[in-house]
Amino acid sequence: MQKSVAVVLALAAGLSWYSSAQAKVSAEEAARLGKDLTCTGAEKAGNADGSIPPFTGKNLGVVPGWTHTPYSGGHPVDPWPNEKPLLVITASNAKQHAERLSTGQLAMFEKYPATYRMAIYPTHRDFRYPDYVCERARENALNAELVDNGLGVNAIGQVPFPIPKTALELMWNSQLPARAWTEEMQRDNGAVTPSGDVAWGRSFSKTLANANNPKETPYSSTGVQSLGMYTTVLPQRDNGIITVAQTPYNFSSDSLKAWTYNPGTRRVRLNPAFGFDSPMIGTNGVMTIDDDRIFNGSPERYDWKIEGKREMYVPINSYKVNSAEVKYKDLLTPNHPNPDVMRYELRRVWVLVATLKEGSRHLYGKRVMFIDEDTWHSLMADNYDTRGNIYKYAQVTYYYHPDMSAWEAGAAFFHDLTTGQYVGYSLSNEARKGPILNKGNYTADMFTPDTARAAGR
């Protein structure tokens, strides 16, 4: 693999930091990266019957059929528009495929037997991360470590543990996969009642995640992993509210912080309740703050366990559901998103289980998360209430984006299996532009309480 000069110099500069770190895997294990494992740790080989193909990684920074102008906010284009499903799962045959379905997916078939279905398409493993991500992953395999009982991590950039040994290492992989280092977008949220009525939320967001900056080598021993600024437009009662948030690398020495500007008082106040199971604004209470991207924030309230890998039908390569061709009225159908625009593939996923600690408080007594081995993104979750009943089913649709040569989180769907409500979250189909990635010249001083105050006024 050819290294960029910037990466070589950055890694050399970091050797003094690494001298105090303990290797997490042996040199022999790390040597598997780029050989029988992909450079970020997935099994290159397909499965026994060929239904999961070998990883090719033949496409870097391009999506066939998508003529994309860099950093323009172009909406995604499906590279396989004429591909037909291999299988369609309905309530009538779901039990035959239960081994490859989650409890939440099976609950969806049971609750909506007449309309819910999953179209299973051929599995594609043709997109890859850029070389600097591979180089960082290899350095992390040898040197990254958990600190403060897993509440923090010392690593370079993204993919801290490409060969995870513990549940908290896997959890940190899902929080720090390779993604955009700057993102600007319009986020539309549609909370759908069982009758099909939709309550709309809308915000404009800017985020900065220096862990993903290809031009620098950010260390995660201290500081902030991501910064965000969110300006609410809908619902009307919340119009003009501005929130800035900071997520640390170490939740032992720091916490998720948010400050909110209220146009009624024209003041900025620290929001001490931000995070964990606080309701996500604009989702009618269906989502919690830490539901975003399946799980985010401090792991402190849960005990964590790896339950190995499974071959499962999961949402991935989700171009159609995020395209400008799909209008919201056609997407947000009653009970669940329109199955005609959803795409599922058979993939190997890590199963990560979080069980609420005795004495801790959260709406979810247990969370079962399914993390894609190729990308390290969490694709789905089955969330249980504190009595042990399946409560919510969540899924995030990802697609490979040329602007960052990595996977972008598209539309997410969170289903309350008790009330029948669901929310389509972070939609951008009808936005004038899709996500604008890795273009913004953002700095940390653009995400402060003073920034929110100035923007509000």
The residue type at 181: W
**Is the per-residue pLDDT at 124 higher than 70?**
yes
14 — pLDDT class (breaks 50, 70, 90): very low
**Is the per-residue pLDDT at 206 higher than 90?**
yes
Residue 361 in 3-state DSSP?
coil
Tell whether the torsion through CA atoms of 428, 431, 433 and 436 is positive or negative: negative
Q: State the average pLDDT over residues 237-265.
A: 95
Q: CA end-to-end span of the chain, whole Å?
A: 51
Instruction: Compute the distance between CA of residue 376 and CA of residue 303 in angstroms, rounded to an integer.
Output: 20
Distances (CA, A) of 74 to 142, 239, 410: 38, 27, 13
In the structure encoding, which two tokens stand for residue 366, read together? Answer: 């247990």
13 membership: H or E segment, kind and range: helix 5-13
pTM: 0.94
**Is the per-residue pLDDT at 7 higher than 70?**
no
Residue 408 in 3-state DSSP?
strand
pLDDT at 214: 86
**Is the per-residue pLDDT at 3 higher than 50?**
no
**pLDDT, mean over the chain:** 93
Q: State the average pLDDT over residues 268-277.
A: 94
**Is the per-residue pLDDT at 343 higher than 90?**
yes
105 — pLDDT class (breaks 50, 70, 90): very high
Pairing of strands 118-121, 344-356: parallel
pLDDT at 211: 83
Contact 140, 71 (CB under 8 A): no
Pairing of strands 422-427, 182-192: antiparallel
Percent of the chain exceeding pLDDT 70 equals 94
